[in-house]
Structure 1
Amino acid sequence: MTFYQEIGKNDVLNVTILSWFIAQTLKVIFTLIKEKRLNLYRFVGSGGMPSSHSSLVMGLSTAVGLKSGWHSLEYAIAISFALIVMYDASGVRRAVGKQAIILNKMIEDRHHHKPIGDQRLKELIGHTPFEVFAGAILGIFIANLMI
């Protein structure tokens, strides 16, 4: 059996990838509904609703729990990893996004001053707690459907 055939049979990895893919696809759809335009960058961009990071790690940890048991070392590692990623997505990365908004406003407001720079900073980096929660629920749902 080839590497690709073996990896294709990895249920946990399939849940993880599908959870990420669906979350990213939903970002494109939600942006289309909200902005009335197709923005395919949302498929690969970070931030937004739902959190694909949260969906991926909760899909992973739920699939590991379902396959290996909720008492297993593997589940303990996976859920710990998931909690760190989700905390970072709604904490540190969200703060960086807020700072980018302020810095971009400062750059726009530079009247009669020496230019600070012309390149805008990326503002949509982190997630609100609701976006993280929605992503987590999506990952849990996908894992329960597939495992």
Structure 2
Amino acid sequence: MRYLIPAAIAWAVAQSLKHLFRLAGRNRRIFKGASKAWFMPSGGMPSTHSATVTAFVVYVGLSEGVESGLFAISFLLAAIVIYDSMRVRYSSGRQGELLNSLLTELKSSLLPVRVAHGHTLLEVVAGILVGMTVGLVVFITTKF
């Protein structure tokens, strides 16, 4: 259970930062036409996916050591999640935007598709930095 604490904190911090960036005029892309789930948008600065899995990996690495099997598994899964959020979901998000603009242009009666925004490299790096910070802080504060 203790491994979930840094991941949950990183998720909350990253989601909060996402809204602060929106208030500062960034992240318009992900909040434009936002659905009922405005509190959990996909995409944007920083990457919540990257922050969450990185905090988990850092905490596991510091707690169990980087030679442990748990660290190896968590590192591998984090790499997959980060790759997916940056490459796969970003591409599918762009395709969704293009499909919706085509539906609008053709005045189609079909409903717009849900667009899951992926992340840019900068958003992923920011998420990784948030996750590293949270993982380290949680480890240090719970060590005693």
Q: TM-score, normalised by structure 1?
A: 0.82
- Matching residue of 1:30: 21
Displacement of 1:90: 0.5
Counterpart of 1:102? Answer: 98
Letter in structure 2 aligned against 1:55: A
The one-letter code sitting in structure 2 at the alignment partner of 1:33 is: A
Of 62, 67, 74, which aligns to 1:66?
62
1:13 pairs with 2:4: yes
Match of 1:77 in 2: 73
- For residues 34 and 42 of structure 1, the distance between their equivalents in structure 2, rounded to whole angstroms, comes to 16
Task: State whether structure 2 residue 130 is matched by structure 1 residue 138.
Answer: yes
Matched residues in 1 for 2:92 and 2:135: separation? 31
Report the RMSD for the aligned CA atoms in angstroms: 2.1
Whichever of the two has the greater Rg, that structure is: 1
| Residues 74-125 of structure 1: per-residue CA shift (max 9 Å, x gap) | 10001101000000000110010010111111011115xxx251x3233352
**Equivalent residue letter for 1:23:** A
- For 1:129 and 1:120, the matched residues in 2 are separated by 27
Q: CA deviation at 1:143?
A: 0.8
- Distance in 2 (CA, whole Å) between partners of 1:143 and 1:127 is 21
Once the two structures are superposed, the pairs formed by residues 110-125 of structure 1 within 5 Å of their partners are: 110=106, 115-117=108-110, 119-125=111-117
Kindly tell me the number of residue pairs found equivalent between the two proteins.
Answer: 133
Residues 51/42 of structure 1: CA separation in 2 closer, same or farther (3 Å cut) = farther
Give TM-score scaled by structure 2 length.
0.84
Q: Structure 2 stretches of 5 or more lacking a match?
A: 140-144
Equivalent in the alignment of 1:56: 52
Q: Partners of 1:24 and 1:109 in 2: how far apart?
A: 33
2:54 and 2:128 in contact (8 A); partners too: yes
| 2:57 counterpart SS class | helix
